[in-house]
Structure formats: C-alpha cells, structure tokens
Structure 1
Amino acid sequence: MKTFIRKIELQTMRAYVTVKTRAHEITGKTKEAFLNKEGQGTLDVAVTVLISIVLGALILGGLYLIVSGTVLPTITQKIKDMFNYQG
C-alpha cells in the first residue's frame, strides 16, 4: 500500500512540474509576442494602399468625365462631318 501511495505522489509531482514548465513556456511566448514589433508597419502599409486606391478611383472618375463630356462629342461630330462630306 505504501508503494501505491508513493507512485501516486510521484505521478502527481511529475504532473505538477510538467504543468508548471508549460505555463512558464507559454508565459515566455506571450511576453515575446507582446514585445515583438515586427508587424508594426503593417497598418501603415494598409492605410497607404487604401489611400492609393481612393486617389486612383478619383483620378479615373475625373478622366472619364473629361473624356465623356469634352472629347467624345467632338470626335462624334468630326466622324459625322467626315461621312457627310458634300464635296
């Protein structure tokens, strides 16, 4: 009976040491993750890309308005004048 109790005590101690060791490992990894500054510029890049997309859309929209309002009617009129030549 003494050996049985001793075995249970040893297993309990091993389990305690294992849990304690893993808790320290997890704590260390968590500290490293919080102190890691490698991904710090990711938000800056995302904002820059978003601003670039918005500015590009505005520029394309402006060019479309210029082309559809000024250039296309002029081209259409010139094409009609070419085919209605009375020469």
Structure 2
Amino acid sequence: MKKFMNNARNIITLKALALREKLCEPRGEGYVDTAIKILIAVVLGALLLAGLYALFNDTVLPTLVKRVQDMFNYAG
C-alpha cells in the first residue's frame, strides 16, 4: 500500500508540475485576439445575411409571389 501511495504521489506531482509549466507559458491566445475574431465573424455574418436578404427580397420573392398567385388564379 505504501508503494501505491508513493507512486500516486509521484504521478500527481508530475501532473501538477506539467500544469504549472503550461500555465506559465508566455505564448498563447489572449482575450483580445479572441474578441477580435468573434467581432469579425459577427460582422461578416451580418453582411452575408444582409446580402442574402437583399437578393431574396428584390429578386426571388417577387417572382415567387407572382408564380404562386398565377397558380391559384382560377379565373384567368
């Protein structure tokens, strides 16, 4: 049992040292970088949606509405 406890303590110590080393690294991704990426993604998504809305609103929807009205116009 003593050997098991020593082995477990050594493993935990090694994991703690590895974690400490990883947390002390000067490189990595900061909050500002992540915020800028999210902001760029939101702006590009809004532009894409605005373009699709303009396309569907001016080009596709009037044609679609006319075709549906023509299909259900039994008098003409």
Query: Do these two structures clear the TM 0.5 threshold for a shared fold by scoring above it?
Result: yes
Is 2:54 aligned against 1:42?
no
Of 49, 52, 58, 1:69 maps to 58
TM-score (norm 2): 0.58
Residue in 1 that maps onto 2:47: 58
Equivalent pairs: percent with the same residue?
49
Deviation of the 1:37 alpha carbon: 4.0
**How many residues are paired up?**
53
Secondary structure at the counterpart of residue 43 of structure 1: helix
Bigger drift between 37-46 and 77-86 goes to: 37-46
Q: What is the TM-score of this pair, normalised by structure 1?
A: 0.51
Which structure features the higher share of helix residues? 1
Q: Give the unaligned 5+ runs of structure 1.
A: 1-34
Letter in 1 for 2:65: T
Which 4+ runs in 1 deviate beyond 6 A? none
